[in-house]
Structure 1
């Protein structure tokens, strides 16, 4: 059968040359479209480095100055600690932490630069979070190397313990293995000229790669200790999965009167998933992605019509050949397999130049890689999906007209020809 297929392709080489060119060009264009979608969806599929599922963000507001007296101001720290402990005891709450700095799904970001003691000129900027020790339980952060020592998680330690993402470790210390960074020290050059120059930090653990949001690139991150919960921090609550539905409404109903204490009131409590949706709308990410996917879907539909119609017309033109093969004793299954294999062989012949063109486009840096870096995995995955879609279109373009042609009696089909 394979010899017959190649002989048939060679005998119809003039017609197949145009088809081969079409398949080659369309495969490259389809790969490029799939690669653009991968740039965005691949970023969304990548882990952020921390788990925000079932986690709520709680913020407490402060009353206007006209309603605050000196006694309330002096008692603010005690009041906040009291409310913070009440949150821990609320039904459904598993873990609570306080933090400030770079907050996911918001425009609240904080960045600083750090340099190793071995090279003070090598300063690496990174996002920073000051967190209480329970933060890592709330957001389920598991170190790749080293471990958190909760008893010594304090800014009073010397050197101050820190946890760094693997990107910061690689950029800062430039070691063969990220695990080798555990125990290394660095300093913050921007603190040298301040009244309290805290410049000595020690890496306690290395964390997975971090990013601020789903549609973001990985960035260097550092975690530093916040000694205690202060009223200007964010409070994060991990809630039992069976308590997530309606938790914010229940919490606000039950705790709103309790939080009216001293200078405080309950400002907002939101699920991080809701924060993500609101942030994507605010930044225009949703509209942008909808536009990208609409264009990609329209392009895919046109490719489908082009390839499908080409093979439909090509198969219908060969009704006589179908009838002749059946008249000579071939079964319907054999005829169908022959036509499908012939179409797929034509595709595989077009794949080789299409692959070379795609590789040159990749090497020329003409692809969209704003969120996900170019890699062999990305290229193979995108090209494989494009090839699979092309094969599916060809199969559909051959299967239906060939099936209809085989339902006609061979003698009738030959007579019509």
Structure 2
């Protein structure tokens, strides 16, 4: 059967050359469209390095200066500690922390440079986040190496303990295994001339790769201990999964009067899911992705019509051949298998030149890889998916007209021919 297939394809090579050309071009274009979508969706599926599900962001603001008296000012620290502890006791709250620096899903970012003691000229810039010890429970941080030590998580420790992402550990120390960075020390060269220089940090744990939002690349990231929870910091609240629905509304309704204490009032409380949605709209990500997906869907629809119609027409023209094969004793399953295998074999024969063209396009750096690296695995996966979609379209384009042709009596089909 395979020999017969190759002989027939070769005998019809003049007619097939146009089909080969069409399949080659369409396969390359389909691969490019899939690769474009993967650049964004692949980045969105990557973990951020911390878990924001079931977490709410709370900010506390201060009243206008005109309504604040000296007594309220003196009592501000005590009042905020009281309010912070009240949050922990609210129904549905599992853990609470305070942090500042680089805030997820916002444009608020803080950078500093760090260098290993072995090479003070090798400075790596990194995102910073100052956090209280409970931060690691709220955001479910799971270190690759090292263990949390809340008892020593304090800026008063020397060397000061820090947690850093794998990217920062690799860039700083260039070790074969990032886990070996635990216990290593580094310093901040920009602090050397400050009034209170902090020149020694000890890596307490190495974390997975980090990024600030879904549609971004991984960046070096470092966590430093915050002195304590302060009112100008962001407060993060992890809520039990069964309490997430309507939590922000309930909390505001119940706690708004309570937070009206001294110089403070409850400003905002919102989930990180809502922050992500708002940030994507603000950055124009949603509109851009909608445009990309609309173009990709339109292109895929045109590919479907083009390839589907070609094989539909090609199969219908061969009704006589179907009838003749059935008259010669072939059953419906064998005839259908023959036509399907022929279509798939034509696709495989065009896959080689299409693969060469697509590979050269990637080598020429003509693909979109703003968020995901142009790796061999990405190329193989996207090209394989393009071939799979083409195979499915070809099978549908052959199966239906061939099935209709098999319903016609062989004598009638031969008479029409």
TM-score of the pair, normalised by structure 2: 0.99
Q: Determine the C-alpha separation between the residues in 2 that align with 1:192 and 1:148.
A: 28
Indicate whether 1:54 and 2:54 are aligned: yes
Shift in Å at residue 396 of structure 1? 0.8
Shift in Å at residue 17 of structure 1? 1.1
Q: Determine the C-alpha separation between the residues in 2 that align with 1:283 and 1:17.
A: 47
Q: Determine the C-alpha separation between the residues in 1 that align with 2:234 and 2:275.
A: 14
Contact 1:54 1:241 in 2 (8 A): yes
3-state DSSP class of the match of 2:215? Answer: coil
| Correspondence for 1:384 | 384
3-state DSSP class of the match of 1:232? Answer: coil
Shift in Å at residue 227 of structure 1? 2.0
Shift in Å at residue 18 of structure 1? 1.1
Contact 1:153 1:227 in 2 (8 A): no
3-state DSSP class of the match of 1:329? Answer: coil
Shift in Å at residue 25 of structure 1? 1.1
Q: Determine the C-alpha separation between the residues in 2 that align with 1:361 and 1:70.
A: 69
| Correspondence for 1:356 | 356
Aligned alpha-carbon RMSD (Å)? 0.7
Shift in Å at residue 346 of structure 1? 0.4
Give CA-to-partner distance per residue, 1:32-79, whole Å, 9 cap, x none: 000000000000000000000000000001100001111111111111
Indicate whether 1:77 and 2:84 are aligned: no
Indicate whether 1:145 and 2:145 are aligned: yes
| Correspondence for 1:324 | 324
Q: Determine the C-alpha separation between the residues in 2 that align with 1:80 and 1:384.
A: 57
Q: Which runs of 4+ in 1 moved over 2 A?
A: none
How many residue pairs match? The answer is 417
Indicate whether 1:30 and 2:27 are aligned: no
Q: Determine the C-alpha separation between the residues in 2 that align with 1:124 and 1:299.
A: 43
Shift in Å at residue 193 of structure 1? 1.1
Give CA-to-partner distance per residue, 1:356-406, whole Å, 9 cap, x none: 111111111111000011112211111111011000110011011111111
Superposed, which structure 2 residues align to 1:54-133 within 5 Å? 54-133=54-133
Shift in Å at residue 145 of structure 1? 0.5
| Correspondence for 1:200 | 200
Superposed, which structure 2 residues align to 1:6-405 within 5 Å? 6-405=6-405
Q: Determine the C-alpha separation between the residues in 1 that align with 2:250 and 2:8.
A: 73
Give CA-to-partner distance per residue, 1:271-296, whole Å, 9 cap, x none: 10011001111111000000000011
Shift in Å at residue 237 of structure 1? 0.4
3-state DSSP class of the match of 1:49? Answer: coil
Q: Determine the C-alpha separation between the residues in 1 that align with 2:99 and 2:202.
A: 20
Q: Determine the C-alpha separation between the residues in 1 that align with 2:339 and 2:366.
A: 37
Which runs of no fewer than 5 residues in structure 1 stay unpaired? none
Q: Determine the C-alpha separation between the residues in 2 that align with 1:7 and 1:171.
A: 58
Shift in Å at residue 300 of structure 1? 0.7
Q: Determine the C-alpha separation between the residues in 2 that align with 1:86 and 1:133.
A: 18
Shift in Å at residue 206 of structure 1? 0.3
Q: Determine the C-alpha separation between the residues in 1 that align with 2:6 and 2:412.
A: 29
TM-score of the pair, normalised by structure 1: 0.99
Contact 1:59 1:235 in 2 (8 A): yes
Q: Determine the C-alpha separation between the residues in 2 that align with 1:263 and 1:373.
A: 49
